[in-house]
Structure 1
Amino acid sequence: MKNKGYVLVAMAGILWGCIGFFVDNLIQKGLTPEQVAFTRLFLGFLILALYALIKTPDALKLTKKGLIYSIIIGFICQAMFNLCYFNAINKIGVSVAAVLLYTSPLFVALFSKLIYKEEIDKCKQISLLLCFIGAFIAVTGGILDFSSLNFLGILLGIGASVTYACMPIISKGALSECKSITIIIYGFLFGAILMIPLAKPWTMVNYIKDTNTIFLMLGLGLIPASLAYICYVSGISTGIELSKVGIISSVELVVSAIIGWTIIGESFSIIKFFGVCLMIVSAVIVNFSKTSETPIDIVSKESLQCNKSI
């Protein structure tokens, strides 16, 4: 049973890693990053809500406090995250955006220190240092030529990382009110609602005649959204060791980088690959921390992975 759980978590990481493929192709089709973000959130909500109705109808029940948490998560951890991340992909590419996203443990450690007064022990310090060095190498290729960098894209990537890091901070309170799948579903819903003014989804009707675009949109809502979360939640429900989950799911970074370097044709170098490897090593080292938490339930991949590094 546990082996099945690890496989499901790995599958979730692989599916999340495919997000750049869909985002890049939809933007090439003419959709704005805001419309792509709305598509992922809205279709993800519909598919997850249908899944919940069939599997666990109680998952759609929401308390008043749960509603407040869902709105906050929908705004910060879904709408703002997707907005920053997809715009970053548009400006600096899939692989670099994914690398910047995976600097989130740096911000989780900072937020946890400031809000919850949690200790940053030596293992965490080493892990965070490797994470920072690895990200720097993967983004710059080890060349200190800042004139060639897209600073707006990098700021958007960092913004995605910050909003990504907010999930475990907010979820500590949210999980006392709702099931994890409930928060995911309503987080997607409110995130989609909050994206409407920017995405203007009514203007997307022009793409109905384009079969390829429709399939890409459906794929975005199914593969790196709803199906990935279903695999992840199903995986951790088997009782697998949570200390290993963050490491296994970090396959997402590798998949994102490979897709960027091969399918999309972004620049590749051995030094960039070395930077990505350092970031994976940092995810392994953090699990030796004496103060790592072991959450019982989890709202998303972001929560567990980041909670293991705070």
Structure 2
Amino acid sequence: MKKLLPFMMIAAGASLWGLIAFFVKGLTSLGFSAMEIVTLRVVFASIILVIIGIAASRPQMKISLRDIHLFAGTGILSIVFFNWCYFTAINQLTISIAVILLYTSPAFVALLSFFFLKEKIDSRKKTAIIGTIVGSVLIAGMSGQDTGSLSPIGTIIGLGAGLGYALYSIFGKFALQKYSAYTVTLYTFVVAALFLLPVTRIWERGEALFDVEVVLLAAGLGLLPTVLAYYLYTWGLERTESSTAAVIATIEPVVAVLLGLFLYGESLGIFQILGSALIILSVCAVNLRADGSKNVFTKKSLH
């Protein structure tokens, strides 16, 4: 049982990520925009992480102001952009398609790493990139009869979520050279919150913010598929190979698809099913390395 526990923790964390759409759909129905929902997520997550830091990780809360640009990269250019694209895609497309488009991030990571980190694109990465591109084309709909819920703009925004998530891998790699995973996560959310609060002026929503349903959904979004999911995934990751963890984490789109099917009555056409399978297989193939070594496609600590 102890040997299986890390795998179970990783699966639990990834499953919680798959539930993000539940909170996004709920807050959207209450009149909040995608950017306002991003603000609620990062603010509540920041509060929870600060409380955790004060209680148990005070030394890790210290950073040099000279490094604030690192967290501007992870917080603003990555998490704000990624979350806005992802939440918008969830509302414009189906949950299933939105989460699968998010999984194009490994292809973006490979391309960005090639240009900015001078990492080579080997055969596995090429396979993942080609598989991701073909899968995205299939998802976008090779046949107009496949689904009426897709739009070119929505698909582009969904791909933007994959790009934004990939950007964290680039900026996060530099930040993690100097700071712990907790420190990077904490200041990523804090910087994102400080940036979004004056942009969205969320406080002007007044009484809506104190509605019990809004508070529960916002707190749930900040805790369950954010802080708790990160903790569970990281706990398991520390006790198993990163490549194995990345493959187990592909349970996330499965959970999201089931959520869309059973809770929101969504459906997938044949091309969307084929495209989704191709993207997931591309992620798995590039992470199943014979030597079990870490690689650039492993899911990072933020989602």
Settle same-fold status: TM greater than 0.5: yes
Q: Deviations over 1:68-88 (max 9, x none)?
A: 211221111111111222122
Is structure 2 residue 55 aligned with structure 1 residue 42? Answer: no
Comparing 201-210 and 79-88, the one that deviates more = 201-210
- C-alpha contact (below 8 Å) 1:14/1:252 kept by paired residues: yes
Q: Give, in whole Å, the separation in 2 of the partners of 1:302 and 1:210.
A: 28
Q: Give, in whole Å, the separation in 2 of the partners of 1:124 and 1:247.
A: 15
Q: Equivalent residue for 1:94? A: 95
Q: Deviations over 1:151-209 (max 9, x none)?
A: 22222112211111111111221111111111111101111121123422112332245
After superposition, the Cα gap between the structure-2 partners of 1:255 and 1:138, relative to the gap in structure 1 and judged at 3 Å, is farther
Is structure 2 residue 198 aligned with structure 1 residue 197? Answer: yes
CA RMSD of aligned residues (A): 2.6
- C-alpha contact (below 8 Å) 2:106/2:128 kept by paired residues: no
Q: Alpha-carbon deviation of 1:40? A: 0.5
Q: Alpha-carbon deviation of 1:111? A: 0.9
2:252 alignment partner AA: E
1:275 alignment partner AA: G
Q: Which runs of 5+ in 1 are unaligned?
A: 304-310
Query: How many residues are paired up?
Result: 300
Q: Alpha-carbon deviation of 1:49? A: 1.9
Q: Give, in whole Å, the separation in 1 of the partners of 2:121 and 2:292.
A: 10
**Percent of matched pairs sharing the same residue:** 30
Q: Give, in whole Å, the separation in 2 of the partners of 1:302 and 1:31.
A: 23
Counterparts in 2 of 1:162-201, with a 5 A limit?
A: 162-201=163-202
Q: Give, in whole Å, the separation in 1 of the partners of 2:43 and 2:299.
A: 18
* 3-state SS, counterpart of residue 186 of structure 1: helix
Is structure 2 residue 216 aligned with structure 1 residue 215? Answer: yes
Q: Alpha-carbon deviation of 1:12? A: 0.9
After superposition, the Cα gap between the structure-2 partners of 1:251 and 1:122, relative to the gap in structure 1 and judged at 3 Å, is same
- C-alpha contact (below 8 Å) 1:8/1:231 kept by paired residues: yes
Q: Give, in whole Å, the separation in 2 of the partners of 1:105 and 1:144.
A: 28
- C-alpha contact (below 8 Å) 1:181/1:299 kept by paired residues: no
Is structure 2 residue 242 aligned with structure 1 residue 242? Answer: yes
Q: Give, in whole Å, the separation in 2 of the partners of 1:146 and 1:200.
A: 40
Q: Give, in whole Å, the separation in 1 of the partners of 2:95 and 2:200.
A: 21
Q: Equivalent residue for 2:159? A: 158
TM-score, with structure 1 as normaliser = 0.87
- C-alpha contact (below 8 Å) 2:107/2:128 kept by paired residues: no
Q: Deviations over 1:8-51 (max 9, x none)?
A: 11111001111011101110111111111001101011112222
Q: Deviations over 1:241-294 (max 9, x none)?
A: 111011111211111122122212223345533432222221221024589962
Is structure 2 residue 273 aligned with structure 1 residue 262? Answer: no
After superposition, the Cα gap between the structure-2 partners of 1:152 and 1:270, relative to the gap in structure 1 and judged at 3 Å, is closer
Comparing 8-17 and 282-291, the one that deviates more = 282-291
